[in-house]
Amino acid sequence: MNQAAVKIPKVEAIPPTGAHVPLIERYLERLPFEPGDPLVSLQEGSTPLLRAPVLSELVGATVRLKLEGANPTGSFKDRGMTCAVSAAVRDGAKAVICASTGNTAASAAAYAARAGITCAVIVPEGKIAQGKMAQTLVHGARVISLKGNFDQALTLVRELTDTHPIVLVNSVNEYRIEGQKTAAFEIHEGLDGGLEALCIPVGNAGNITSYWRGFREMGAAPKLFGFQAEGAAPLVEGRVIEHPETVASAIRIGNPVRWEDAMAAARDSRGAIRVVSDAEILAAYRLLASKEGMFCEPASAASVAGLLKYGADGAEQIVCVLTGRGLKDPETAIANNDGKVIQCVAERGPIEEAVLGDP
């Protein structure tokens, strides 16, 4: 089974998707905003829900991918950030700050630029992917590279924001959770309430918390399966990891802020939080790119790695959340693929051999 086997259906039944509407407008009645409040939006949300035929075949169920990399800065963080920055502007803030493994930084930098306020980000030195660093810098944020890890960075920004009038936009900020719950609304609406299991990567655990809140507000209760990387799996091991390590730099987090909420989401949904190895993450990452045509970042592939490893408890309608876009992390992509680049001189014969010869 591959995409070529899929035929254009005869009857077109295109549901209204809410595309071209800022997320806060689309779900205003369910978010802590009022008409007339300042709106800082890059037209986030309303992301595609893509069928995954190869995965569906492998798992023996209908698997779809929620493409959060289609958000304006390339990750799900934009859902929370439109809310956090709109609220900050409404409340008169002139600056926002976050600790970040990269995506929160890129998103905060973009929304702060849009709002005309300043942004500072603290990132673990040498541990954020190049695409995210590029975004953050070009949006004009102040980037502080910390000789330490994400958890230390978060502790420091929390102390700073206790004593300075700067708004913290990590997922301790309730507006982040409120914004991110809208992805659950979209999936619930997109599948007419038919979702049975959701697979999602877990780092600081804000997103799994948000999805559970969103599903509950819709009166839905799919099983939530969260996946942590083996070297950074505090929720699975039940202890803080002092020196988290994983190829999936976005989820290299040893002491998640939303620890209790994440455990409650897994328990109350009759799901689980489980571990996948870096090798399993990279295998899923390559499979998504080479068989489904979907290039996500390594952390995102943890959701698919987990589904392939553990299944989804017999669920027939499954969604894997692809939290961020593959272009975020070009180094990992270039270091982990089966492709090759063939050098060639600009002449007919060698070109023919390069294109048509035995690989």
| Candidates 57-65, 161-169, 196-204, 214-222; binding stretch for ligand AN7 (CB under 6 A) | 196-204
62 binds ligand AN7 (CB under 6 A): no
What b/e readout covers 145-164, taking b as 16+ CB neighbours within 10 angstroms? ebeebbbebbebbeeebeee
Which CB sits closer to ligand AN7, 39 or 253?
253
CB of 100 to ligand AN7, least distance (A): 3
CB of 72 to ligand AN7, least distance (A): 15
CB of 47 to ligand AN7, least distance (A): 13
Number of residues that bind ligand AN7 (CB under 6 A): 21
299 binds ligand AN7 (CB under 6 A): yes
250 binds ligand AN7 (CB under 6 A): yes
74 binds ligand AN7 (CB under 6 A): no
Which CB sits closer to ligand AN7, 220 or 299?
299
Which CB sits closer to ligand AN7, 62 or 300?
300
d(CA 132, CA 101): 9
203 binds ligand AN7 (CB under 6 A): yes
Q: Check: CB of residue 36 under 8 Å from CB of residue 82.
A: no
103 binds ligand AN7 (CB under 6 A): yes
CB of 116 to ligand AN7, least distance (A): 23
Q: Which residues contact 90 (CB under 8 A, 6 or more apart)?
A: 33, 37, 38
101 binds ligand AN7 (CB under 6 A): yes
Among 149, 255, 323, 332, binds ligand AN7 (CB under 6 A): 323
Give the pairing of strands 272-276 and 49-51.
unpaired
Q: Which residues contact 260 (CB under 8 A, 6 or more apart)?
A: none
Q: Check: CB of residue 324 under 8 Å from CB of residue 104.
A: no
Which of 261, 61, 263, 289 is CA-nearest to residue 172? 261
244 binds ligand AN7 (CB under 6 A): no
DSSP for 108-144, written as a single string:
HHHHHHHHT-EEEEEEETT-S-HHHHHHHHHTT-EEE
251 binds ligand AN7 (CB under 6 A): yes
326 binds ligand AN7 (CB under 6 A): no
Strand order in the sheet with 49-51: 49-51, 62-67, 317-322, 197-201, 223-229, 272-276
Which of 251, 321, 292 is CA-nearest to residue 79? 321
CB of 307 to ligand AN7, least distance (A): 15
Among 71, 82, 86, 100, binds ligand AN7 (CB under 6 A): 100
97 binds ligand AN7 (CB under 6 A): no
Quick count: other Cβ atoms within 10 Å of Cβ 316?
13
Among 178, 261, 280, 297, binds ligand AN7 (CB under 6 A): 297
Among 124, 179, 206, 214, binds ligand AN7 (CB under 6 A): 206
171 binds ligand AN7 (CB under 6 A): yes
d(CA 359, CA 348): 18
Residues in contact with ligand AN7 by the rule CB under 6 A: 75, 100-104, 171, 201-207, 250-251, 297, 299-300, 323-324
